[in-house]
Chains A and B, each alone.
Chain A
Protein backbone atom coordinates (compact mmCIF):
# COMPACT_ATOMS: atom_id res chain seq x y z
CA UNK A 1 0.00 0.00 0.00
CA UNK A 2 1.11 3.57 -0.55
CA UNK A 3 0.09 5.31 2.62
CA UNK A 4 1.65 8.69 3.28
CA UNK A 5 3.36 8.29 6.64
CA UNK A 6 4.44 11.33 8.62
CA UNK A 7 6.27 10.27 11.75
CA UNK A 8 7.30 12.93 14.28
CA UNK A 9 8.09 15.48 11.59
CA UNK A 10 9.73 18.59 12.98
CA UNK A 11 10.93 21.88 11.50
CA UNK A 12 12.89 24.52 13.34
CA UNK A 13 13.60 27.98 11.97
CA UNK A 14 16.24 29.28 14.34
CA UNK A 15 14.47 29.32 17.70
CA UNK A 16 10.99 28.90 16.20
CA UNK A 17 9.57 25.39 16.01
CA UNK A 18 7.21 25.76 13.03
CA UNK A 19 6.28 22.08 12.93
CA UNK A 20 6.44 20.30 16.27
CA UNK A 21 6.64 16.49 16.11
CA UNK A 22 3.63 15.96 13.87
CA UNK A 23 2.56 12.38 13.15
CA UNK A 24 -0.26 11.00 11.02
CA UNK A 25 -0.94 8.55 8.23
CA UNK A 26 -2.94 9.34 5.12
CA UNK A 27 -4.35 6.17 3.60
CA UNK A 28 -4.24 5.38 -0.08
CA UNK A 29 -7.13 7.20 -1.81
CA UNK A 30 -8.04 9.09 1.35
CA UNK A 31 -8.78 12.82 1.43
CA UNK A 32 -8.15 14.86 4.55
CA UNK A 33 -8.31 18.55 5.37
CA UNK A 34 -5.40 20.35 7.04
CA UNK A 35 -6.76 23.19 9.16
CA UNK A 36 -5.40 25.72 11.58
CA UNK A 37 -5.06 29.46 12.08
CA UNK A 38 -2.52 31.48 10.10
CA UNK A 39 1.03 30.70 11.09
CA UNK A 40 0.15 27.35 12.63
CA UNK A 41 2.56 25.46 10.37
CA UNK A 42 0.27 24.04 7.66
CA UNK A 43 2.25 25.27 4.69
CA UNK A 44 5.52 24.34 6.39
CA UNK A 45 4.19 20.80 6.79
CA UNK A 46 3.28 20.73 3.09
CA UNK A 47 6.80 21.97 2.34
CA UNK A 48 8.31 19.19 4.46
CA UNK A 49 6.31 16.49 2.68
CA UNK A 50 7.06 17.84 -0.81
CA UNK A 51 10.74 18.39 -0.01
CA UNK A 52 10.74 22.18 -0.43
CA UNK A 53 12.26 22.17 3.08
CA UNK A 54 14.16 19.35 4.77
CA UNK A 55 12.68 18.31 8.12
CA UNK A 56 14.85 19.02 11.16
CA UNK A 57 13.84 15.67 12.60
CA UNK A 58 11.38 12.86 12.00
CA UNK A 59 10.57 10.66 9.07
CA UNK A 60 8.22 11.02 6.09
CA UNK A 61 7.56 8.13 3.73
CA UNK A 62 5.25 7.11 0.91
CA UNK A 63 4.62 3.42 1.51
CA UNK A 64 8.07 1.88 1.70
CA UNK A 65 9.75 4.81 -0.06
CA UNK A 66 11.54 7.25 2.23
CA UNK A 67 10.77 10.87 1.30
CA UNK A 68 12.36 12.91 4.08
CA UNK A 69 15.89 14.05 3.32
CA UNK A 70 15.47 13.71 -0.44
CA UNK A 71 15.45 16.47 -3.07
CA UNK A 72 12.04 17.81 -4.18
CA UNK A 73 12.47 16.47 -7.73
CA UNK A 74 13.00 12.95 -6.38
CA UNK A 75 9.97 13.30 -4.11
CA UNK A 76 7.94 14.46 -7.11
CA UNK A 77 9.15 11.44 -9.08
CA UNK A 78 8.15 9.20 -6.17
CA UNK A 79 4.55 10.32 -6.69
CA UNK A 80 3.95 13.48 -4.65
CA UNK A 81 2.43 16.46 -6.50
CA UNK A 82 1.56 19.83 -5.06
CA UNK A 83 0.05 23.23 -5.76
CA UNK A 84 1.25 26.45 -4.20
CA UNK A 85 -0.50 28.84 -1.84
CA UNK A 86 0.50 31.70 -4.18
CA UNK A 87 -0.23 30.25 -7.58
CA UNK A 88 2.87 29.49 -9.67
CA UNK A 89 2.47 29.06 -13.39
CA UNK A 90 5.19 29.36 -16.02
CA UNK A 91 4.39 32.55 -17.94
CA UNK A 92 6.64 32.01 -20.95
CA UNK A 93 5.29 28.53 -21.66
CA UNK A 94 2.00 27.58 -23.27
CA UNK A 95 -0.72 25.90 -21.22
CA UNK A 96 0.00 22.48 -22.68
CA UNK A 97 3.73 22.89 -21.94
CA UNK A 98 2.95 24.05 -18.40
CA UNK A 99 1.04 20.85 -17.79
CA UNK A 100 3.26 18.52 -19.80
CA UNK A 101 6.31 19.05 -17.61
CA UNK A 102 5.11 16.78 -14.81
CA UNK A 103 4.23 14.10 -17.35
CA UNK A 104 7.73 14.38 -18.82
CA UNK A 105 9.81 14.74 -15.66
CA UNK A 106 7.55 13.05 -13.11
CA UNK A 107 7.22 9.41 -12.20
CA UNK A 108 5.88 8.32 -15.59
CA UNK A 109 8.57 9.94 -17.80
CA UNK A 110 6.41 10.32 -20.92
CA UNK A 111 7.71 12.14 -23.97
CA UNK A 112 6.32 13.27 -27.31
CA UNK A 113 2.73 12.38 -28.12
CA UNK A 114 2.29 10.36 -24.91
CA UNK A 115 3.20 13.37 -22.76
CA UNK A 116 0.94 15.55 -24.87
CA UNK A 117 -1.97 13.19 -24.43
CA UNK A 118 -1.59 13.09 -20.64
CA UNK A 119 -1.37 16.89 -20.57
CA UNK A 120 -4.40 17.30 -22.84
CA UNK A 121 -6.44 15.01 -20.60
CA UNK A 122 -5.40 16.97 -17.51
CA UNK A 123 -6.30 20.26 -19.22
CA UNK A 124 -9.68 18.79 -20.19
CA UNK A 125 -10.26 17.71 -16.58
CA UNK A 126 -9.90 21.29 -15.35
CA UNK A 127 -11.78 22.77 -18.31
CA UNK A 128 -8.90 24.42 -20.16
CA UNK A 129 -8.67 22.04 -23.12
CA UNK A 130 -9.67 24.63 -25.70
CA UNK A 131 -6.82 26.97 -24.72
CA UNK A 132 -3.99 24.43 -24.81
CA UNK A 133 -1.75 26.58 -27.01
CA UNK A 134 -2.39 29.92 -25.32
CA UNK A 135 0.38 31.54 -23.28
CA UNK A 136 0.07 30.99 -19.53
CA UNK A 137 0.90 34.67 -18.98
CA UNK A 138 -2.52 35.63 -20.39
CA UNK A 139 -4.61 33.63 -17.91
CA UNK A 140 -6.97 35.02 -15.29
CA UNK A 141 -6.31 34.14 -11.65
CA UNK A 142 -8.87 31.33 -11.51
CA UNK A 143 -7.57 29.85 -14.76
CA UNK A 144 -4.03 29.96 -13.38
CA UNK A 145 -5.27 27.94 -10.42
CA UNK A 146 -6.88 25.44 -12.77
CA UNK A 147 -3.66 25.26 -14.76
CA UNK A 148 -1.67 24.55 -11.62
CA UNK A 149 -4.05 21.74 -10.69
CA UNK A 150 -3.83 20.32 -14.21
CA UNK A 151 -0.05 20.27 -13.85
CA UNK A 152 -0.37 18.33 -10.60
CA UNK A 153 -2.84 15.88 -12.18
CA UNK A 154 -0.62 15.25 -15.19
CA UNK A 155 2.05 13.99 -12.79
CA UNK A 156 -0.30 11.03 -12.23
CA UNK A 157 0.54 11.33 -8.52
CA UNK A 158 -0.17 9.00 -5.64
CA UNK A 159 -0.46 11.92 -3.22
CA UNK A 160 -1.67 15.41 -4.04
CA UNK A 161 -0.96 18.30 -1.68
CA UNK A 162 -3.30 21.26 -2.19
CA UNK A 163 -2.35 24.50 -0.44
CA UNK A 164 -5.52 26.62 -0.31
CA UNK A 165 -6.35 25.72 -3.86
CA UNK A 166 -9.98 26.83 -3.41
CA UNK A 167 -9.13 30.25 -1.95
CA UNK A 168 -10.22 33.25 -3.98
CA UNK A 169 -12.91 31.48 -6.01
CA UNK A 170 -16.41 32.91 -6.35
CA UNK A 171 -19.38 30.71 -5.22
CA UNK A 172 -19.96 29.16 -8.66
CA UNK A 173 -16.28 28.47 -9.20
CA UNK A 174 -16.10 27.03 -5.69
CA UNK A 175 -18.80 24.48 -6.47
CA UNK A 176 -16.93 23.53 -9.66
CA UNK A 177 -13.68 23.30 -7.73
CA UNK A 178 -15.20 21.03 -5.10
CA UNK A 179 -16.59 18.72 -7.79
CA UNK A 180 -13.21 18.70 -9.49
CA UNK A 181 -11.39 17.61 -6.33
CA UNK A 182 -14.06 15.02 -5.60
CA UNK A 183 -13.58 13.54 -9.07
CA UNK A 184 -9.82 13.23 -8.34
CA UNK A 185 -10.39 11.22 -5.17
CA UNK A 186 -12.51 8.81 -7.19
CA UNK A 187 -9.47 8.09 -9.34
CA UNK A 188 -7.60 6.88 -6.26
CA UNK A 189 -5.32 9.83 -5.52
CA UNK A 190 -4.75 10.58 -1.83
CA UNK A 191 -5.29 14.26 -1.10
CA UNK A 192 -4.14 16.42 1.78
CA UNK A 193 -5.67 19.86 1.46
CA UNK A 194 -4.92 23.00 3.43
CA UNK A 195 -8.18 24.90 3.40
CA UNK A 196 -9.91 27.75 5.20
CA UNK A 197 -13.28 27.43 3.47
CA UNK A 198 -15.23 25.26 5.92
CA UNK A 199 -18.06 24.50 3.48
CA UNK A 200 -15.50 22.93 1.16
CA UNK A 201 -13.87 21.01 3.99
CA UNK A 202 -17.25 19.65 5.13
CA UNK A 203 -18.20 18.74 1.57
CA UNK A 204 -14.95 16.98 0.71
CA UNK A 205 -13.11 15.76 3.79
CA UNK A 206 -14.43 13.07 6.14
CA UNK A 207 -11.33 13.64 8.26
CA UNK A 208 -9.41 16.72 9.29
CA UNK A 209 -6.03 17.39 10.87
CA UNK A 210 -5.90 20.60 12.89
CA UNK A 211 -2.65 22.40 13.67
CA UNK A 212 -1.92 25.17 16.13
CA UNK A 213 1.50 26.67 16.87
CA UNK A 214 3.20 23.87 15.00
CA UNK A 215 1.45 21.08 16.89
CA UNK A 216 -1.20 18.71 15.64
CA UNK A 217 -4.03 19.36 18.10
CA UNK A 218 -6.74 17.25 16.47
CA UNK A 219 -6.94 14.36 14.03
CA UNK A 220 -10.53 13.20 13.85
CA UNK A 221 -13.79 13.12 11.92
CA UNK A 222 -14.63 16.54 10.50
CA UNK A 223 -17.90 17.01 12.42
CA UNK A 224 -16.27 16.16 15.74
CA UNK A 225 -13.23 18.36 15.07
CA UNK A 226 -15.27 21.44 14.26
CA UNK A 227 -17.06 21.19 17.62
CA UNK A 228 -13.89 20.29 19.54
CA UNK A 229 -13.27 22.99 22.20
CA UNK A 230 -9.50 22.90 21.60
CA UNK A 231 -9.99 23.51 17.88
CA UNK A 232 -12.44 26.35 18.46
CA UNK A 233 -10.07 27.89 21.00
CA UNK A 234 -7.21 27.73 18.50
CA UNK A 235 -9.24 29.48 15.83
CA UNK A 236 -10.51 32.16 18.20
CA UNK A 237 -7.01 32.65 19.59
CA UNK A 238 -8.00 32.20 23.24
CA UNK A 239 -4.85 30.30 24.14
CA UNK A 240 -2.70 33.35 23.43
CA UNK A 241 -4.05 35.09 26.51
CA UNK A 242 -3.58 32.09 28.76
Chain B
Protein backbone atom coordinates (compact mmCIF):
# COMPACT_ATOMS: atom_id res chain seq x y z
CA UNK B 1 0.00 0.00 0.00
CA UNK B 2 2.76 2.45 0.94
CA UNK B 3 4.17 1.90 -2.54
CA UNK B 4 1.00 3.40 -3.94
CA UNK B 5 0.50 6.03 -1.24
CA UNK B 6 3.47 8.21 -2.10
CA UNK B 7 2.73 8.48 -5.85
CA UNK B 8 -0.94 9.19 -5.10
CA UNK B 9 -0.05 11.93 -2.62
CA UNK B 10 2.29 13.41 -5.21
CA UNK B 11 -0.47 13.30 -7.80
CA UNK B 12 -2.87 15.13 -5.46
CA UNK B 13 -0.27 17.85 -4.82
CA UNK B 14 0.36 18.24 -8.57
CA UNK B 15 -3.37 18.38 -9.26
CA UNK B 16 -3.79 21.15 -6.66
CA UNK B 17 -0.88 23.24 -7.99
CA UNK B 18 -2.81 25.28 -10.61
CA UNK B 19 -4.55 27.12 -7.76
CA UNK B 20 -1.23 28.64 -6.73
CA UNK B 21 0.47 29.62 -9.98
CA UNK B 22 0.09 32.36 -12.58
CA UNK B 23 -1.34 31.82 -16.04
CA UNK B 24 2.21 31.73 -17.39
CA UNK B 25 3.24 29.21 -14.73
CA UNK B 26 0.30 27.01 -15.64
CA UNK B 27 1.34 27.14 -19.28
CA UNK B 28 4.80 25.92 -18.31
CA UNK B 29 3.29 23.15 -16.22
CA UNK B 30 1.13 21.97 -19.12
CA UNK B 31 4.21 21.85 -21.34
CA UNK B 32 6.24 19.98 -18.75
CA UNK B 33 3.53 17.40 -18.07
CA UNK B 34 2.98 16.96 -21.80
CA UNK B 35 6.64 16.07 -22.26
CA UNK B 36 6.54 13.81 -19.18
CA UNK B 37 3.72 11.96 -20.94
CA UNK B 38 5.48 11.86 -24.30
CA UNK B 39 8.82 10.70 -22.88
CA UNK B 40 7.19 8.07 -20.63
CA UNK B 41 5.00 6.75 -23.46
CA UNK B 42 7.99 6.69 -25.80
CA UNK B 43 9.98 4.72 -23.22
CA UNK B 44 7.14 2.23 -22.79
CA UNK B 45 8.11 0.93 -26.22
CA UNK B 46 11.59 2.24 -27.03
CA UNK B 47 13.07 2.12 -23.53
CA UNK B 48 12.31 -1.57 -23.22
CA UNK B 49 12.99 -2.74 -26.75
CA UNK B 50 15.76 -0.21 -27.59
CA UNK B 51 14.08 0.44 -30.94
CA UNK B 52 14.65 4.19 -31.15
CA UNK B 53 11.47 5.67 -32.59
CA UNK B 54 11.37 9.14 -34.14
CA UNK B 55 7.69 8.77 -34.93
CA UNK B 56 6.53 10.49 -31.74
CA UNK B 57 5.34 13.56 -33.57
CA UNK B 58 3.53 11.49 -36.21
CA UNK B 59 1.16 10.28 -33.50
CA UNK B 60 1.18 13.46 -31.41
CA UNK B 61 0.38 15.57 -34.46
CA UNK B 62 -2.28 13.14 -35.65
CA UNK B 63 -3.99 13.47 -32.27
CA UNK B 64 -4.02 17.25 -32.60
CA UNK B 65 -5.32 17.05 -36.16
CA UNK B 66 -8.15 14.70 -35.26
CA UNK B 67 -9.34 17.27 -32.72
CA UNK B 68 -8.99 20.06 -35.28
CA UNK B 69 -11.11 18.16 -37.80
CA UNK B 70 -13.75 16.75 -35.45
CA UNK B 71 -14.09 19.31 -32.63
CA UNK B 72 -17.18 20.92 -34.13
CA UNK B 73 -18.79 17.65 -35.19
CA UNK B 74 -18.47 15.31 -32.21
CA UNK B 75 -18.65 15.72 -28.42
CA UNK B 76 -15.18 16.07 -26.90
CA UNK B 77 -14.93 12.64 -25.21
CA UNK B 78 -15.83 10.98 -28.50
CA UNK B 79 -13.19 13.05 -30.29
CA UNK B 80 -10.59 11.70 -27.86
CA UNK B 81 -11.83 8.17 -28.43
CA UNK B 82 -11.60 8.56 -32.22
CA UNK B 83 -8.10 10.01 -31.87
CA UNK B 84 -7.02 7.02 -29.76
CA UNK B 85 -8.49 4.59 -32.28
CA UNK B 86 -6.84 6.30 -35.24
CA UNK B 87 -3.48 6.42 -33.41
CA UNK B 88 -3.81 2.74 -32.52
CA UNK B 89 -4.72 1.74 -36.07
CA UNK B 90 -1.83 3.75 -37.47
CA UNK B 91 0.57 2.09 -35.03
CA UNK B 92 -0.75 -1.34 -35.97
CA UNK B 93 -0.11 -0.77 -39.68
CA UNK B 94 3.28 0.86 -39.10
CA UNK B 95 4.29 -1.79 -36.57
CA UNK B 96 3.35 -4.71 -38.77
CA UNK B 97 5.39 -3.31 -41.63
CA UNK B 98 8.45 -2.03 -39.74
CA UNK B 99 9.14 -3.94 -36.55
CA UNK B 100 11.19 -6.42 -38.52
CA UNK B 101 13.59 -3.60 -39.38
CA UNK B 102 16.67 -3.55 -37.22
CA UNK B 103 18.54 -0.68 -35.63
CA UNK B 104 19.19 2.33 -37.78
CA UNK B 105 16.66 1.32 -40.47
CA UNK B 106 13.88 1.49 -37.93
CA UNK B 107 15.05 4.93 -36.77
CA UNK B 108 15.09 6.25 -40.31
CA UNK B 109 11.73 4.73 -41.15
CA UNK B 110 10.04 6.29 -38.13
CA UNK B 111 11.54 9.67 -39.00
CA UNK B 112 10.30 9.27 -42.54
CA UNK B 113 6.88 8.30 -41.27
CA UNK B 114 6.49 11.61 -39.45
CA UNK B 115 7.37 13.50 -42.61
CA UNK B 116 5.07 11.31 -44.69
CA UNK B 117 2.08 11.95 -42.43
CA UNK B 118 2.78 15.68 -42.47
CA UNK B 119 3.05 15.79 -46.27
CA UNK B 120 -0.07 13.65 -46.75
CA UNK B 121 -2.15 15.93 -44.55
CA UNK B 122 -0.73 19.03 -46.23
CA UNK B 123 -1.55 17.59 -49.65
CA UNK B 124 -5.06 16.62 -48.55
CA UNK B 125 -5.80 19.99 -47.00
CA UNK B 126 -4.53 21.96 -49.99
CA UNK B 127 -6.04 19.80 -52.73
CA UNK B 128 -9.22 18.44 -51.18
CA UNK B 129 -10.42 20.82 -48.49
CA UNK B 130 -8.75 23.86 -49.99
CA UNK B 131 -7.40 25.17 -46.69
CA UNK B 132 -4.16 24.66 -44.84
CA UNK B 133 -4.83 25.77 -41.30
CA UNK B 134 -7.70 24.89 -38.99
CA UNK B 135 -9.07 26.41 -35.81
CA UNK B 136 -9.87 24.64 -32.58
CA UNK B 137 -12.48 26.46 -30.56
CA UNK B 138 -13.12 24.27 -27.58
CA UNK B 139 -14.36 25.56 -24.25
CA UNK B 140 -11.65 23.84 -22.22
CA UNK B 141 -9.72 25.88 -19.68
CA UNK B 142 -5.96 25.69 -19.25
CA UNK B 143 -6.58 23.97 -15.92
CA UNK B 144 -8.79 21.41 -17.61
CA UNK B 145 -6.05 20.63 -20.11
CA UNK B 146 -3.50 20.39 -17.30
CA UNK B 147 -5.63 17.96 -15.34
CA UNK B 148 -6.30 15.79 -18.37
CA UNK B 149 -2.62 15.68 -19.26
CA UNK B 150 -1.67 14.94 -15.65
CA UNK B 151 -4.13 12.05 -15.64
CA UNK B 152 -2.68 10.74 -18.92
CA UNK B 153 0.86 11.00 -17.51
CA UNK B 154 -0.21 9.11 -14.39
CA UNK B 155 -1.92 6.42 -16.46
CA UNK B 156 1.19 6.08 -18.65
CA UNK B 157 3.56 5.61 -15.72
CA UNK B 158 1.08 3.35 -13.91
CA UNK B 159 0.63 1.24 -17.05
CA UNK B 160 4.40 0.95 -17.46
CA UNK B 161 4.77 -0.17 -13.84
CA UNK B 162 2.00 -2.74 -14.31
CA UNK B 163 3.45 -4.11 -17.55
CA UNK B 164 6.86 -4.35 -15.90
CA UNK B 165 5.45 -6.95 -13.50
CA UNK B 166 3.66 -8.93 -16.20
CA UNK B 167 5.05 -11.48 -18.68
CA UNK B 168 4.83 -8.76 -21.35
CA UNK B 169 7.33 -6.63 -19.42
CA UNK B 170 9.76 -9.52 -19.09
CA UNK B 171 9.34 -10.35 -22.79
CA UNK B 172 10.02 -6.73 -23.76
CA UNK B 173 13.20 -6.62 -21.67
CA UNK B 174 14.41 -9.85 -23.27
CA UNK B 175 13.68 -8.43 -26.73
CA UNK B 176 15.69 -5.33 -25.81
CA UNK B 177 18.68 -7.44 -24.81
CA UNK B 178 18.72 -10.11 -27.52
CA UNK B 179 15.95 -10.90 -29.99
CA UNK B 180 17.53 -14.21 -31.00
CA UNK B 181 17.46 -15.48 -27.43
CA UNK B 182 13.92 -14.13 -27.08
CA UNK B 183 12.68 -16.07 -30.10
CA UNK B 184 14.40 -19.31 -29.07
CA UNK B 185 12.93 -18.99 -25.59
CA UNK B 186 9.38 -19.02 -26.95
CA UNK B 187 8.69 -15.28 -27.12
CA UNK B 188 6.54 -14.16 -30.05
CA UNK B 189 8.66 -11.22 -31.19
CA UNK B 190 6.15 -9.58 -33.51
CA UNK B 191 3.27 -9.70 -31.05
CA UNK B 192 5.37 -8.51 -28.10
CA UNK B 193 6.75 -5.49 -29.94
CA UNK B 194 3.44 -4.68 -31.58
CA UNK B 195 1.48 -4.57 -28.31
CA UNK B 196 4.00 -2.18 -26.74
CA UNK B 197 4.19 -0.03 -29.88
CA UNK B 198 0.41 0.31 -30.14
CA UNK B 199 -0.02 1.13 -26.44
CA UNK B 200 2.75 3.72 -26.63
CA UNK B 201 1.35 5.25 -29.82
CA UNK B 202 -2.20 5.53 -28.48
CA UNK B 203 -0.88 7.51 -25.53
CA UNK B 204 1.22 9.77 -27.80
CA UNK B 205 -1.86 10.40 -29.96
CA UNK B 206 -4.00 11.22 -26.93
CA UNK B 207 -1.34 13.63 -25.65
CA UNK B 208 -1.54 15.54 -28.94
CA UNK B 209 -5.32 15.53 -28.82
CA UNK B 210 -5.48 16.79 -25.25
CA UNK B 211 -2.98 19.61 -25.68
CA UNK B 212 -4.31 20.80 -29.05
CA UNK B 213 -6.95 23.29 -27.76
CA UNK B 214 -4.01 25.31 -26.38
CA UNK B 215 -2.86 26.06 -29.90
CA UNK B 216 -6.22 27.33 -31.22
CA UNK B 217 -4.77 27.45 -34.76
CA UNK B 218 -3.12 24.33 -36.18
CA UNK B 219 -1.44 23.53 -39.46
CA UNK B 220 0.79 20.60 -40.44
CA UNK B 221 4.08 22.46 -40.08
CA UNK B 222 3.18 23.38 -36.49
CA UNK B 223 1.81 20.09 -35.20
CA UNK B 224 4.26 17.84 -37.04
CA UNK B 225 7.37 19.68 -35.89
CA UNK B 226 10.15 17.02 -35.81
CA UNK B 227 11.76 18.75 -32.82
CA UNK B 228 9.06 17.14 -30.67
CA UNK B 229 10.32 13.66 -31.61
CA UNK B 230 13.95 14.55 -30.91
CA UNK B 231 13.16 16.25 -27.62
CA UNK B 232 11.19 13.22 -26.47
CA UNK B 233 14.10 10.89 -27.18
CA UNK B 234 16.70 13.06 -25.48
CA UNK B 235 14.49 13.57 -22.41
CA UNK B 236 13.89 9.85 -21.97
CA UNK B 237 17.57 9.08 -22.50
CA UNK B 238 18.67 11.78 -20.07
CA UNK B 239 16.52 10.43 -17.25
CA UNK B 240 17.00 6.78 -18.16
CA UNK B 241 14.69 5.20 -20.72
CA UNK B 242 14.53 1.83 -19.00
CA UNK B 243 13.58 3.18 -15.59
CA UNK B 244 10.01 3.80 -14.52
CA UNK B 245 10.35 7.49 -13.64
CA UNK B 246 13.50 8.11 -15.71
CA UNK B 247 11.72 9.75 -18.67
CA UNK B 248 9.70 11.99 -16.34
CA UNK B 249 12.86 12.97 -14.52
CA UNK B 250 14.54 13.89 -17.78
CA UNK B 251 11.52 15.68 -19.24
CA UNK B 252 10.89 18.36 -16.62
CA UNK B 253 14.35 20.00 -16.40
CA UNK B 254 14.96 19.72 -20.13
CA UNK B 255 11.59 21.24 -21.00
CA UNK B 256 12.20 24.17 -18.67
CA UNK B 257 15.74 24.60 -20.04
CA UNK B 258 14.47 24.69 -23.62
CA UNK B 259 11.72 27.12 -22.72
CA UNK B 260 14.26 29.45 -21.18
CA UNK B 261 16.71 29.04 -24.08
CA UNK B 262 14.11 29.58 -26.77
CA UNK B 263 12.84 32.70 -25.00
CA UNK B 264 16.31 34.18 -24.54
CA UNK B 265 18.19 32.84 -27.56
CA UNK B 266 15.49 32.36 -30.19
CA UNK B 267 17.97 32.15 -33.07
CA UNK B 268 20.62 29.89 -31.59
CA UNK B 269 18.78 27.69 -29.16
CA UNK B 270 18.74 24.68 -31.49
CA UNK B 271 22.55 24.72 -31.32
CA UNK B 272 22.33 24.25 -27.57
CA UNK B 273 19.84 21.49 -28.10
CA UNK B 274 22.18 19.67 -30.47
CA UNK B 275 25.09 20.02 -28.06
CA UNK B 276 22.98 18.71 -25.21
CA UNK B 277 21.87 15.76 -27.30
CA UNK B 278 25.49 14.83 -28.00
CA UNK B 279 26.45 15.40 -24.38
CA UNK B 280 23.72 13.14 -23.04
CA UNK B 281 24.58 10.28 -25.38
CA UNK B 282 28.30 10.56 -24.59
CA UNK B 283 28.22 11.13 -20.84
CA UNK B 284 25.12 9.30 -19.71
CA UNK B 285 24.16 6.67 -22.30
CA UNK B 286 21.94 4.93 -19.76
CA UNK B 287 20.60 8.07 -18.15
CA UNK B 288 21.08 10.05 -14.98
CA UNK B 289 19.53 7.40 -12.73
CA UNK B 290 22.00 4.74 -13.88
CA UNK B 291 24.80 7.27 -13.39
CA UNK B 292 23.65 7.87 -9.82
CA UNK B 293 23.58 4.09 -9.22
CA UNK B 294 27.11 3.73 -10.52
CA UNK B 295 28.33 6.58 -8.33
CA UNK B 296 26.68 5.05 -5.28
CA UNK B 297 28.24 1.66 -6.02
CA UNK B 298 31.67 3.31 -6.31
CA UNK B 299 31.20 5.09 -2.97
CA UNK B 300 30.16 1.81 -1.31
CA UNK B 301 33.23 0.08 -2.67
CA UNK B 302 35.46 2.94 -1.52
CA UNK B 303 33.94 2.76 1.96
CA UNK B 304 34.39 -1.00 2.20
Contacts and interface: CB of A to CB of B under 8 A. Distances in A.
Interface string B185-198: 11111000000000
A106 B188 CA distance: 11
Given A88-B178, A92-B176, A101-B174, A76 B167 contact: no
A155 B184 CA distance: 10
Interface string A90-123: 1111000100111011110001000000000000
Given A52-B184, A155-B185, A90 B178 contact: yes
Interface string B156-188: 000000000001001101101110111111111
Contacts of A102: 185-186
B183 A101 contact: no
A90 B181 contact: yes
Nearest to A111: B167
A50 interface: yes
B170 A104 contact: yes
B242 A92 contact: yes
A117 B261 CA distance: 54
B186 A76 contact: yes
Contacts, number: 72
Interface residues of B, number: 19
Nearest to A106: B186
A31 B47 CA distance: 42
B185 A52 contact: no
A82 interface: yes
A50 B184 contact: yes
A76 B173 contact: no
B181 A88 contact: yes
Interface string A41-83: 0000000001110000000000000000001110011000110
A122 to B, nearest CB: 13
Select the residue from B173, B177, B184, B188 with max chain A CB neighbours within 10 A.
Answer: B184
Contact of B174 (A76, A93, A111): A93
A73 B188 contact: yes
Contact of B173 (A89, A92, A106): A92
A151 interface: yes
Contacts of B184: 50-52, 72-73, 76, 81-82
Interface in A136-161: 151, 155
Contacts of A50: 184
A104 B189 contact: no
A76 B180 CA distance: 12
Interface in A160-216: none
Contacts of A92: 173, 176-177, 242
A77 B186 contact: yes
Nearest to B167: A104
A52 B180 CA distance: 8
Contact of B183 (A76, A89, A151): A76
A151 B177 CA distance: 15
A101 B187 contact: yes
Select the residue from A73, A77, A97 with max chain B CB neighbours within 10 A.
Answer: A73
B177 to A, nearest CB: 4
B174 A73 contact: no
A73 B181 contact: no
B173 A105 contact: no
A93 B242 CA distance: 12
B185 A151 contact: yes
A89 B182 CA distance: 10
A100 B170 contact: yes
Given A82-B184, A92-B177, A92-B242, A73 B189 contact: yes
Contacts of A90: 173-174, 177-178, 181
Contacts of B170: 97, 100-101, 104
Interface string A6-29: 000000000000000000000000
Given A92-B173, A100-B170, A105 B180 contact: no
A139 to B, nearest CB: 14
Select the residue from B167, B173, B188 with max chain A CB neighbours within 10 A.
Answer: B167
A73 B187 contact: yes
Select the residue from A52, A76, A97, A111 with max chain B CB neighbours within 10 A.
Answer: A76
B183 A71 contact: yes
A91 B183 contact: no
A88 B185 CA distance: 12
Contacts of A100: 170
Given A101-B182, A107-B186, 7 more contacts: A71-B188, A72-B184, A90-B177, A92-B177, A92-B242, A104-B170, A151-B181
Across the A-B interface, the 4 shortest Cβ-Cβ residue pairs: A105-B186, A90-B177, A76-B186, A72-B183
14 contacts: A51-B183, A52-B180, A71-B188, A72-B183, A73-B188, A84-B180, A88-B180, A89-B181, A90-B173, A90-B181, A101-B186, A101-B187, A106-B185, A106-B186
